[in-house]
Structure 1
Amino acid sequence: MLPPSQADVRRFFCGAYAKGRQGLPMEPLELLAWRWIELHPEYHAQLADLETALARMQAADPARDNPFLHLSMHLSISEQCSIDQPPGIRQAVELLAARHGDLHQAHHEVMECLGRMIWESQTSGRPPDGATYLAEVQRRATAR
């Protein structure tokens, strides 16, 4: 199975948004995506226009928030927690959510760690360092 293309990811999130707005039946992953989409009304206009979303792939602006990347990171963290991979991530995210009183806020903090791990992997040419990622999330979860 090939990983999804950037266009596939945009189609998926725009499709989940459309189904959610219309109250249509969704696959489990679409439903999870819809739950995160609902928490980000600032992205709704971009998710409502698939053609513009696809056209903007070529003109990415690093200074501008990318809703597709952001929502993909929410899904990644959700999946990591559901299978506890790397081992200990579920507990660390739960602790962070309890500390903030909000899972959404906890995810945003974990995203900083996940983004750093991905960036370091891409710039160094090495595989992602799951142990360092987990340690950073745990450090944040237990910080006083």
Structure 2
Amino acid sequence: MFNPSRDQVRSFFIEAWRKHRAHEVLTPLEAIAADVIGLHPEYHAVVEDPDAIDRDFSPDDGQLNPFLHLSLHLAIEEQLSIDQPPGIRAAFNSACEKRGSRHDAMHDALECLGETLFDAQRRGGQPDGAAYVGCVLRRAERH
């Protein structure tokens, strides 16, 4: 199982964005990462700074960790590509239609994924895929 360190994840995003900006050949995963970064201009300065590998992003300081946010985007893109958990692709497509924006639907899914992971951690068990898909569907219905 792939379990990169914090520094490896951050280096991956920094390097994918560097290669994208330099018009170098990207791997498929780097291309997805560059697309996601492109949707977040508020993170460009961070991923353009090699020293960001060592930077702390504390919620106590009101900071959202951009690398965590980008990583969750990638996780959902992977889930959608293989429809895992089952039904996530259909739920997400429904959310896209209702929201009228793939990016807004993605952020709804990010919230659901975060809730699902938090719940699994709190219970000391595995994430509940059906609850996650249900959350995405419920959020879509609100819009």
TM-score (norm 2): 0.92
Alignment RMSD: 1.3
Q: Give the superposition deviation at 1:23.
A: 0.8
Residue ranges of structure 1 left out of the alignment (5+ in a row): none
Residues 9-29 of structure 1: CA deviation (Å, up to 9, x unaligned): 000000011011111110000
Partner of 2:47: 47
Contact 1:10 1:50 in 2 (8 A): no
Confirm whether residue 73 of structure 1 aligns to residue 72 of structure 2: yes
Residues 36-73 of structure 1: CA deviation (Å, up to 9, x unaligned): 1111000000001122x1221xx330120111111111
Partner of 1:61: 58
Confirm whether residue 31 of structure 1 aligns to residue 31 of structure 2: yes
Which segment is superposed worse, 118-127 or 63-72? 118-127
Greater than 3 Å deviation, 4+ residue runs? none
Q: Does the residue aligned with 1:116 lie in a helix, a strand or coil? A: helix
Q: Give the superposition deviation at 1:129.
A: 1.2
**d(CA) in 2 for partners of 1:139 and 1:28?**
31
Which aligned pairs between 1:102-117 and structure 2 lie closer than 5 A? 102-117=101-116
Which aligned pairs between 1:5-20 and structure 2 lie closer than 5 A? 5-20=5-20
Q: Does the residue aligned with 2:93 lie in a helix, a strand or coil? A: helix
Contact 2:7 2:54 in 1 (8 A): no
**d(CA) in 2 for partners of 1:34 and 1:3?**
21
Partner of 1:99: 98
Residues 65-120 of structure 1: CA deviation (Å, up to 9, x unaligned): 11111111111111111101111100111111111111111000111100011111
Partner of 1:136: 135
Q: Give the superposition deviation at 1:142.
A: 3.5
TM-score (norm 1): 0.92
Code of the residue aligned with 1:49 in structure 2: it is D
Q: Give the superposition deviation at 1:124.
A: 2.4
% of aligned pairs identical? 48
**d(CA) in 2 for partners of 1:2 and 1:141?**
31
**d(CA) in 2 for partners of 1:116 and 1:21?**
34
Which segment is superposed worse, 116-125 or 25-34? 116-125
Residue ranges of structure 2 left out of the alignment (5+ in a row): none
